[in-house]
Structure 1
């Protein structure tokens, strides 16, 4: 089985954090997101994986090179962004064509990726994994197939719309709608395929864990949900999980208090009397005594000497 991870995005909604770290390497419970995605692909039986890069590409390349993956890994560099469709086209070429699983590099899910791959129908140009996730619901379905993408229901749509999970299986026929070497949008390609009478299968899932990590709020929500034990299928990728989660070498001084949803990276120091709630602190950061943080993300090595709420501290 073959797979692609779309990891070239700029991560603009997470600025200024993503000035330092590409979105796909953001730590999730102190583990780089891309490493979690690749570990899940290894466990699902995928043998060949391609990853596209653009923003801070050297960090992604170094991360991939520094670890002994059992996967046959390839990198698809994009000096100029090719968009969701153009990037997917180049990844498919590197993988030797479809079918291949394609996964957005800014989501975390416990979906059985191997089972998703096996459900792809050969008569479909792609199979999209969909779920009910307002306010992102804009994919219309009828009889197990996608019939439209957009705000308004197309003729023949049955029931309310669903949301794309960021997981799909791309068949060889989809390449016809992704022009080689040109920036293009995946949604536009889907619409062109539908207009040409192609089948886009709809794989509807329920009862799973899924979380986007593309905004500060979503990133913090992911940590809160994981710390609350909402994704037991993913627990083995993190080791023992407690709230607060304190990585090795962390120092918590007397009187520091935590209000839930707190994750502390390696060698973090929390000063006496500090108070943290729904906050993620990356490795090597220092929170000075008496500081109160709520709904904050603290970048690696930063020293925080003031109270803050809803901020990214870099």
Structure 2
């Protein structure tokens, strides 16, 4: 299975840190955020990686190169301007092939065992399968609800659901109908819910959305002090 790491965004909420450093290269305990994903994907046996790049793309390509240092092969999907999640994936489809693929946001921290998703087989009704986590303080109501069959549904007000972790498996069919251009992922997920083709699983492990300088600083403090374990991520 191939995997795509999303790394093209500007990181607006991370300014001023991202004015000179792309968000996936911001460090936690001395290691770039995206490198944690890369090392763990390689350890899980996923060696074909696609990375979309735009903002400060040269820094990402210079640091990661062709991926040989981690035992993987990296192909880059270049965007003149960030195309958002769905637009970026649609552009990268020729690099991702005809089989289901894994997608992970380059700016999240998660200790999810990637091999579990790599080994997952989409159900006949699924075109996408999300990993969802407990709601963080900044997003207390979450994104979606999840039924006992693993189907995703809209979160009814005022009930809380779960938060999409920025990690998922997609069938290429999920994006094949899209026209090239800038497009967010959420409208596609909402349509898949309406069509009954969106599945998910709950994960109760460590996860953090590194969306602001304050959250990055706190995560760095936790990892550096051992509050969050880093051993599995970097071995």
State the Cα RMSD in Å: 2.1
Q: CA deviation at 1:166?
A: 0.6
Separation in 1, partners of 2:218, 2:157: 30
Residue by residue over 1:171-213, the C-alpha shift from the partner in whole angstroms, topping out at 9 and shown as x without a partner, is 1331245x14121110001112223x2421111111x111121
Separation in 1, partners of 2:73, 2:234: 24
TM-score using structure 1 length: 0.68
Residue by residue over 1:42-83, the C-alpha shift from the partner in whole angstroms, topping out at 9 and shown as x without a partner, is 011102110000100111111122762311210001002211
Residue by residue over 1:258-297, the C-alpha shift from the partner in whole angstroms, topping out at 9 and shown as x without a partner, is xxxxxxxxxxxxxxxxxxxxxxxxxxxxxxxxxxxxxxxx
SS at match of 2:69: coil
- Matching residue of 1:129: 131
Is residue 210–residue 216 contact of structure 2 (8 Å, CA) maintained in 1? yes
Q: Which runs of 4+ in 1 moved over 4 A?
A: 236-239
SS at match of 1:73: strand
Alignment of 1:1-314 (within 5 A): 1-65=1-65, 68-123=69-124, 124-134=126-136, 135-136=138-139, 137-143=142-148, 144-148=150-154, 152=157, 160-176=160-176, 179-195=178-194, 197-206=195-204, 208-232=205-229, 234-235=230-231, 237=233
Separation in 1, partners of 2:93, 2:115: 18
Q: Which structure exhibits the higher relative contact order, with contacts defined as CA atoms closer than 8 Å and separated by 6 or more residues?
A: 2
Is residue 120–residue 169 contact of structure 1 (8 Å, CA) maintained in 2? no
Bigger proportion of residues as helix: 2
Say if 1:151 and 1:54 are closer, same or farther in 2 by CA, change over 3 A.
farther
Say if 1:214 and 1:98 are closer, same or farther in 2 by CA, change over 3 A.
farther
Say if 1:99 and 1:146 are closer, same or farther in 2 by CA, change over 3 A.
same
Separation in 1, partners of 2:146, 2:21: 37
Q: CA deviation at 1:18?
A: 0.8
Is residue 29–residue 238 contact of structure 1 (8 Å, CA) maintained in 2? no
Separation in 2, partners of 1:231, 1:120: 30
Separation in 2, partners of 1:22, 1:214: 13
Residue by residue over 1:109-141, the C-alpha shift from the partner in whole angstroms, topping out at 9 and shown as x without a partner, is 111011023234242100000011144312122
SS at match of 2:58: helix
- Matching residue of 1:285: none
Separation in 2, partners of 1:118, 1:187: 25
- Mind listing any 5+ residue stretches in structure 2 that lack a counterpart? none
Bigger proportion of residues as strand: 1
Say if 1:237 and 1:168 are closer, same or farther in 2 by CA, change over 3 A.
closer
Larger of the two Rg values belongs to structure = 1
SS at match of 1:181: coil
Separation in 2, partners of 1:119, 1:22: 31
Say if 1:237 and 1:201 are closer, same or farther in 2 by CA, change over 3 A.
closer
- Matching residue of 1:247: none
